[in-house]
Amino acid sequence: MNSTKKKILFFTPYATRTGSEMMLLYILEKLDRTRFDAGIVSFADGELLKEFPDDIPVYIVPKNFNLFQKISFQLGVNPTLEFLRKLAKSFKADFWYINTTMIPEAVAIAREFSIKMVTHFHELPLTYAYLKKPEFKSIIDDSDLLIGCSQATCKALQDSGGKNVSLLYSFIDHNKVKKDEKRTAGLKEKLGIPKDDFVWILSGITSERKGFDMLPDIAQELNETGVHLVWVGKKLEDGLVYYTEQRSKHLTAATRIHFAGEQKEDYYNYLNMGNGFLLTSRQDPFPLVMIEAALLGKPIVSFPSGGASEFVQEGMGIVTEDISVKQLVNAMRSVMNGQTVTDRTKSIEVASRFNVENGYKNWIELIDKNY
């Protein structure tokens, strides 16, 4: 272990309650102040900044430029890059910890100032399309350490030419997973779902990657009375969401679809409402909600979208062979009719391994090994 106190500058894109940013919050809450000095750079003034530890300074990168910055930008001076250059000079970090692939500006300045860099990947290849080829190449080639949140993520990094690739499974704070049975029952009643009906909970942003658009197809294929699909998560205001909502509204299937929207206070009570948890992502590295659902004892049915194949063990549910609505619905039926036996104690036991204490210990080992 290196006994010299290290100075780390952490980078995050939105400071919202995404899985990758919750992981960063958990690390910062546990960070040993006798061993590390830290700062946080956020590219947005998000709600999570209020939850980060008070003793860690926060720097918010200008993205919505004022008039002077707009003029500067037109003259070839990028205020975002200039801000990061000043920070590189004033905050003398031993290394930058970039907690996503989505802020290539940070990678560019780290490279410019020869600052050592960790990039923590919470993304699989479909997300790489949002980066330009030189940006992605620089992340792979110039990061001193690449961390993947699942074996699937690490393989994608190695396939991209990454050299120093390490696995750090995503984890959650188990103390935050709290349910209220009475409140759960009330929310179920509010949605108009009869007490004894079977509920499949889905959770995530309403994106194509998360498979939101498949909801009507699943409901139509299942077509069973007394079964409900409840999607919990932030709603994007785009054409795909409108299309999916319209299809759901005019569906003739017996299976009903409900949109619960983004939840904060009642998030775990909505998860608890489910008799099962359904993961429809086309790609998902290692979703935190999967761990949360298992910790609540819910059987999981999932596509082979990434981390689910590494997490779901016998007795916890089913991961289909392919991304197929028909296979998914057959798996749902198998869980509902008891043909596939699930054991809530098994789910809880496996989920309990992915806790903050174990996760932070593994993170420290990675940092000590490389720095």
pLDDT digits (tens, 9 = 90+) for 33-57: 999 999 999 999 999 999 999 999 9
Same domain flag for 120 and 203: no
Average pLDDT over residues 17-32: 93
Same domain flag for 157 and 182: no
**What pLDDT, on a 0 to 100 scale, did the predictor assign at position 76?**
58
**What pLDDT, on a 0 to 100 scale, did the predictor assign at position 75?**
54
Same domain flag for 71 and 208: no
Same domain flag for 180 and 168: no
**What pLDDT, on a 0 to 100 scale, did the predictor assign at position 217?**
98
Domain count for the chain, please give it: 2
Q: Where are the beta strands (DSSP E) in the chain?
A: 6-12, 36-42, 58-60, 95-98, 116-121, 145-148, 165-167, 198-203, 227-232, 256-261, 276-279, 300-302, 317-319
CA distance 23 to 82: 28
Task: Look up the CATH number of the domain holding residue 361.
Answer: 3.40.50.2000
Is the pLDDT at 72 greater than 90, yes or no?
no
**What pLDDT, on a 0 to 100 scale, did the predictor assign at position 4?**
82
**Position with higher pLDDT, 76 vs 127:** 127
pLDDT tens digits along 96-112: 999 999 999 999 999 99
Same domain flag for 152 and 230: no
Range of the domain at 146: 6-173+355-370
**What pLDDT, on a 0 to 100 scale, did the predictor assign at position 320?**
98
Same domain flag for 244 and 340: yes
Is the pLDDT at 2 greater than 70, yes or no?
no
Average pLDDT over residues 240-260: 97
169: Cβ contacts below 8 Å, ≥ 6 apart = 149, 150, 286, 354, 359, 362
Is residue 1 assigned to a domain?
A: no
Same domain flag for 194 and 298: yes
pTM over 0.95: no
Same domain flag for 143 and 207: no
pLDDT tens digits along 311-368: 999 999 999 999 999 999 999 999 999 999 999 999 999 999 999 999 999 999 999 9
Same domain flag for 151 and 228: no
* Residue 297 Ramachandran class (φ > 0 left, ψ -120 to 50 alpha, else beta): left
**What pLDDT, on a 0 to 100 scale, did the predictor assign at position 371?**
87
Q: In what order do the strands lie in the sheet with 300-302?
A: 256-261, 227-232, 198-203, 276-279, 300-302, 317-319
Same domain flag for 338 and 207: yes
Average pLDDT over residues 201-205: 96
Average pLDDT over residues 17-22: 90
Q: What percent of the chain has pLDDT over 90?
A: 92
Same domain flag for 137 and 260: no
